[in-house]
């Protein structure tokens, strides 16, 4: 890794997106605005009970739920759910500072990936700022175990994700992927990977009043071990790519980009949040440091790993 001068970035202009919330099925609008250096990513919304404006940072301390998606604050009081796909796009494209203006409790799900957010950011471009970018450098390994699932952060020269999933469904099976994160690799390898789930699980969520906006237009649906979407999958290993996309978005809630290796097995939103709590609250001050500068990489960005099972008949 070679350290050099690096500057923070923000959006070059405002851009809006419209869609539906995956849980409510209601219209959901969001506007991304430029922000001053050092602002970070900040969400603004209206408290539906009082009508007053609520503002909170995209930060791991603001996470209130991780069961079905990543939720910041209390959606009944101006918080917002399903932030991970937008956060992945902002981190993946290197946006340091932005204001995210909401008009309700959910981010629009769009097609279930980060693709629409990437396109929106590209439509206005980025503006380089005078402030130097800062990074969180992992200095010692930290780990979280939950049953057979685990995740960890380790020292590494750069920002690398190493994710393995293992599902009983024949269409998914066990899939692994390793990626050195950059704007180029995020665009080409992760941004279009869609969320997924079983039809049986979605029916249960519907009966509980959740996932009312879920459809084949914004999810990859699995039934009887097969992909139900007529177009199939975008990659044969789209499932692990989406899990990595989620990890990029969830770890962006560290508040700064990190220099380190993130590894997970059967991970998800809960464990992605848990590893940040472990790093910042439990591992001690010697587990990380804040550094300034950039890293330049000469190693290959993407490393294929053997997959013991992949989607059958998927394209």
In the chain, where does the domain assigned CATH 3.30.1700.10 lie? 134-303
Chain centroid to CA 246: 4
Q: Quick check: 303 pLDDT over 80?
A: no
If you search the block for the tokens 């009983």, which residue do you land on? 168
Q: Under CATH, domain 9-132 is a member of which superfamily? A: lpxc deacetylase, domain 1 (3.30.230.20)
- What digits encode the pLDDT tens for the residues 70-106? 999 998 899 999 999 999 999 999 999 999 999 999 9
Q: Phi and psi for 188 in degrees, rounded to 5?
A: -85, -30
pLDDT of residue 299: 37
pLDDT of residue 210: 67
Q: Quick check: 311 pLDDT over 80?
A: no
- What digits encode the pLDDT tens for the residues 224-282? 889 999 999 999 999 999 999 999 999 999 999 999 999 999 999 999 999 999 999 99
**Mean pLDDT across the stretch 101-113?**
96
Cβ(4)–Cβ(292) below 8 Å: no
The lowest-confidence range among 57-71, 75-89, 276-290, 295-309 is 295-309
For the annotated binding site, the residues are 85, 242, 246
Cβ(289)–Cβ(137) below 8 Å: yes
Q: Can 269 be counted among the known catalytic residues? A: yes
Q: Quick check: 309 pLDDT over 90?
A: no
- What digits encode the pLDDT tens for the residues 8-17? 999 999 999 9
Band of residue 39 on the pLDDT scale cut at 50, 70, 90: very high
In the chain, where does the domain assigned CATH 3.30.230.20 lie? 9-132
Q: Quick check: 304 pLDDT over 50?
A: no
Question: Quick one: which of 110, 137, 126 has its CA closest to 19?
Answer: 110
For the annotated binding site for Zn(2+), the residues are 85, 242, 246
Instruction: Write down the catalytic residue from 23, 59, 156, 269.
Output: 269
Band of residue 287 on the pLDDT scale cut at 50, 70, 90: very high
pLDDT of residue 294: 56
CA angle 199, 202, 206 (to 5 degrees): 135
pLDDT of residue 307: 28
Q: Quick check: 313 pLDDT over 70?
A: no
- What digits encode the pLDDT tens for the residues 153-209? 999 999 999 999 999 999 999 999 999 999 999 999 999 999 999 888 777 767 777
How is domain 134-303 classified at the CATH fold level? lpxc deacetylase, domain 1 (3.30.1700)
Return the higher-pLDDT residue of 302 and 127.
127
Chain centroid to CA 49: 29
Task: Report the Cα–Cα distance between both ends of the chain, in Å, rounded.
Answer: 36
The lowest-confidence range among 47-51, 206-210, 213-217 is 206-210
Band of residue 24 on the pLDDT scale cut at 50, 70, 90: confident
């Amino acid at each position: 890794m070679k350290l050099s001068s690096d500057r923070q970035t923000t959006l070059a202009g405002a851009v809006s997106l419209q869609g539906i919330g995956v849980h409510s099925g209601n219209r959901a609008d969001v506007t991304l605005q430029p922000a001053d250096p050092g602002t970070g990513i900040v969400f603004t919304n209206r408290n539906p009970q009082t009508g007053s404006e609520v503002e909170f940072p995209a930060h791991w301390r603001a996470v209130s739920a991780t069961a079905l998606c990543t939720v910041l604050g209390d959606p009944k009081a101006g918080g917002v759910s399903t932030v991970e796909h937008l956060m992945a796009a902002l981190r993946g494209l290197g946006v340091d500072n932005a204001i995210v203006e909401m008009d309700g409790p959910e981010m629009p799900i769009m097609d279930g990936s980060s693709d629409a957010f990437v396109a929106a950011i590209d439509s206005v471009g980025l503006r380089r700022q005078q402030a130097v970018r800062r990074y969180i450098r992992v200095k010692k390994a930290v780990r979280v175990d939950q049953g057979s699932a685990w995740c960890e952060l380790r020292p590494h020269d750069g920002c690398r994700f190493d994710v393995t999933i293992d599902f009983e469904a024949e269409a998914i099976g066990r899939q692994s992927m390793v990626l050195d994160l950059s704007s180029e690799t995020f665009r080409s390898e992760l941004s279009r990977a869609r969320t997924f789930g079983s039809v049986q699980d979605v029916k249960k969520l519907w009966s509980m009043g959740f996932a009312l906006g879920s459809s084949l237009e914004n999810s990859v649906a699995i039934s009887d071990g097969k992909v139900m979407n007529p177009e199939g999958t975008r990659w044969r290993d789209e499932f692990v790519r989406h899990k990595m996309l989620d990890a990029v978005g969830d770890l962006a809630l560290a508040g700064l980009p990190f220099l380190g290796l993130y590894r997970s097995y059967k991970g998800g939103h809960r464990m992605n949040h848990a590893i940040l709590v472990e790093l910042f609250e439990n591992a001690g001050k010697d587990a990380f440091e804040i550094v300034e500068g950039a890293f330049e990489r000469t190693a290959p960005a993407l490393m294929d790993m053997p997959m013991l099972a992949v989607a059958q008949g998927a394209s």
